[in-house]
A and B are shown apart, each in its own frame.
Chain A
Amino acid sequence: EVQLVESGGGLVQPGGSLRLSCGASGFSFSNFWMTWVRQAPGKGLEWVANIKEDGSQKDYVDFVKGRFTISRDNAKNSLYLQMNSLRAEDTAVYYCVRGIGWFDPWGQGTLVTVSS
C-alpha cells in the first residue's frame, strides 16, 4: 500500500522553528517529485514547496521563500520541511503529497500551530 505519514507538528512561538518529516512506503520514493501542501483553519488548500526526485530542484511559494527549506533523503524514503521564522499565519495542517502535477496520495497531515 502506498502510504505517506507526516510527523513533527506542534505548538511553536512566533519566530520559532519546526521541522516536519514525512515517511514514505509502498512505492519507489526516489522516482517521484514530492510536495508539501497546507491548509489553514477554515481555509482552502495551498501549495507550499516541492522537490525533484534527486533533490536538485526545489520550488517555493513566495510567502515561505527564505524561511522554509524542503529536503529529502532517498535512502530513508523521507521528505522534510524545515520551517524557520514562523508566523501566526503559518498555522495550518501540513500535508505531504506525492507528485508535482496532480497529487496522489496525500498523508493524513500534521498540525502546526504558531502562537504565543
Chain B
Amino acid sequence: ETVMTQSPATLSVSPGEGATLSCRASQSVSSKLAWYLHKPGQAPRLLIYDASTRATGVPSRVSGSGSGTEFTLTISGLHSEDFAIFYCHQYNNWPYTFGQGTKLEIK
C-alpha cells in the first residue's frame, strides 16, 4: 500500500505567523491528495482536494501544492482556529491511505 509520511510530527507556531506542512507518498499519487483539519471531539474538515483546490468556505490563506510524491500545505497568518491536527490523504492508489498527522500547536 501507499505509505503517507507527514512532517513534522508537531509544529509550534505563533498566531499571525505562517506554517508549512509536508506530506510524502511512498509512490506516486498523481494529484489525488486531500488535506483535512481535525480538532479533538469534532468532525474532521476537508481543506484541500486534488492537491491544490480549496474546499468550499476555506480561506485563501490556506493553499496546497505538489504532485507525484511531494505535497505541501501552507497556511499564512495563523488564526486560533487553525491550531489542530492536519492529515493528508491519497486517493489514487488502492487502498486509499492517510498520513499519521501533523499537530500544529500554539507557540
Q: Could you list which residues of chain A lie within 8 angstroms of chain B, going by C-beta atoms?
A: 44-47, 59, 61-62, 95, 100-109
Contact = CB atoms under 8 A, between A and B. Distances in A.
Nearest to A61: B95
Given A101-B32, A102-B49, A104-B55, A45 B91 contact: no
Interface residues of B, number: 23
A44 B100 contact: yes
A47 B55 contact: no
B45 interface: yes
Contacts, number: 53
A45 B43 CA distance: 12
Given A102-B34, A102-B50, A103-B36, 4 more contacts: A46-B98, A101-B49, A104-B55, A105-B43
Interface of A is mostly: loop
A89 to B, nearest CB: 17
Given A44-B87, A44-B98, A109 B46 contact: no
Given A100-B91, A103-B34, A108 B100 contact: no
A45 B85 CA distance: 11
A109 B38 CA distance: 12
A95 B36 CA distance: 14
A102 B43 contact: no
A62 B39 CA distance: 28
A102 B89 CA distance: 8
